[in-house]
Amino acid sequence: MASFLPPALAGFALGGSLIIAIGAQNAFILRMGLIRRHVFVLCLICALSDAVLIALGVAGLGAVVDSQPQLLKFISIGGGLFLMVYSIFAIRRMIYPETMESRSTGSMSLARAISICLAFTFLNPHVYLDTVVLVGALAAAWQGQQRLVFAVGAIIASFVWFFALGYGARLLAPLFEKQISWQILDALIAIVMAWLGISIFLSAF
């Protein structure tokens, strides 16, 4: 048992906590949503990219743990500690908040928009740490079908976030230009990450 949460909800909470943070990719999707340019395609690219990376992580690390069950304890300990560190980072962002500027990107072509989106996604080293390594490692702590359900929950969180951000941009942008909004969001992320991290860490014992 990797968490006190059901596997789908644990995966959704983890996936959501990892992707809901201010950054180049989210800022780009928000700005494109504001001017209503290529929103569906860009949101789909971001969500599918996460889905592929999560699937690779879950399949690869899950197979390793199946063949070497003794790794499960170390994965749970490491994953739990890593999540608690993420919680600390969220607290730091809450204390030292940033704002997200919603500048217009002009009449950007679809090809250019896709290339920028892919660059923001795959040239960010944290995307591999978050999806392939972290989500994959934590999914490995679940057994059988629950592992798949955990991964699906994380993938659904990615689809929900990117499409909500893209199509809700006109409503979200004024709100998230205020520092207090990011502070509240980061506080919630810190709580979720700390709870998941502690529960996963304790499950190793």
Q: How many CA atoms lie within 13 A of 199 on its CB side?
A: 17
Do residues 61 and 136 lie in contact, with contact meaning Cβ atoms separated by under 8 Å? yes
How far from 76 is each of 43, 173, 199, CA to CA, in Å?
32, 37, 10
Q: Is residue 1 part of a domain?
A: no
Q: Is residue 94 part of a domain?
A: yes
pLDDT > 70 fraction of the chain, expressed in percent and rounded: 84
pLDDT of amino acid 5: 64
- Give residue 42's pLDDT band: very low, low, confident or very high (50, 70, 90): very high
Q: Is residue 196 part of a domain?
A: yes
> What does the pLDDT average to over 110-123?
90
Is this structure's pTM higher than 0.85? no
Is the pLDDT at 2 greater than 60, yes or no? no
Is the pLDDT at 113 greater than 80, yes or no? yes
- Give residue 1's pLDDT band: very low, low, confident or very high (50, 70, 90): very low
Higher-scoring residue by pLDDT: 43, 8:
43
Q: Is residue 57 part of a domain?
A: yes
Q: Is residue 77 part of a domain?
A: yes
pLDDT averaged over every residue in the chain? 81
- Give the count of domains, the chain: 1
Q: Is residue 2 part of a domain?
A: no
Range of the domain at 102: 7-203
pLDDT of amino acid 102: 46
pLDDT digits (tens, 9 = 90+) for 50-107: 999 898 888 876 666 666 767 677 777 887 888 888 889 889 888 987 655 544 445 6
CA–CA separation, 193 vs 80, rounded Å?
Answer: 9
Q: Is residue 164 part of a domain?
A: yes
Q: What is the DSSP string of 105-140?
A: --S--HHHHHHHHHHHHHS-HHHIIIIIIIIHHHHT
Is the pLDDT at 112 greater than 50, yes or no? yes
Q: Is residue 28 part of a domain?
A: yes
Do residues 33 and 162 lie in contact, with contact meaning Cβ atoms separated by under 8 Å? no
Is the pLDDT at 140 greater than 60, yes or no? yes
CA–CA separation, 8 vs 160, rounded Å?
Answer: 14
